[in-house]
Amino acid sequence: MKTNFSPRLLIATSAIAFALAGSAFAAPPPADAPAAPRAGLHQAHRMHGVKEMTRLHDELKLDAKQEALWQDAAKASKEGMGSVRERMRKQHEELQTLLNQPGADLHAAAKRMEEFRAETQKIHEVNRDRWLTVYDAFNAEQKEKARVFFKSKLERTGHREMSGHGRG
């Protein structure tokens, strides 16, 4: 079955993928982060993403204005994701303390988790909007390179998830 996607759908998908990849690119784990199970695999995957984004950055041949926007978005994403990691650590400690108490109110724990999720969503939206500002500054050729890059990335991600190698 042949499916035709509208150009708007492809552009929107590419822009969202660009924003998400930009956030991942700009958020390396802190050096003092404790190792988690499969952390090496996660870090290797993240490093591969950084290499891919670096390659895209190089292929785009950004002008001075675009480069400044890219660097601002990368810096803001890194700072935003750092604050999310710190807030996540604090939230985990708070929930642990709450749940260690006999008779803990699970409604209160769920409410805190929802508040955290809303805060995190806002940070991700700000990051996405910054990266879309970078994308908006691209010329047609650069936008096409970004589209092809993220289309390929989306296809690989879909293949990995369908083969059982995606996130659980």
Count of all residues that appear for the chain in the document: 168
DSSP 62: -
pLDDT at position 33 is 47
C-alpha distances (whole Å) from 129 to each of 19, 37, 123 are: 7, 32, 10
pLDDT at position 66 is 95
pLDDT at position 157 is 79
Residue 137: partners with Cβ closer than 8 Å, 6 or more residues away: 65, 66, 69
Residue 20: partners with Cβ closer than 8 Å, 6 or more residues away: 128
Q: Tell which residue, 166, 148, 158, has the closest CA to residue 55.
A: 148
pLDDT at position 81 is 84
Low-confidence ranges of the chain (pLDDT < 50): 1, 9-10, 20, 23-38, 42, 162-168
Do the beta carbons of residue 71 and residue 25 sit within 8 Å? no
Q: What are phi and psi of 100, to 5 degrees?
A: -75, -15
pLDDT at position 160 is 54
pLDDT at position 108 is 87
Which residue type does 79 have?
Answer: E
Give residue-wise pLDDT tens across range 78-93: 888 888 889 899 999 9
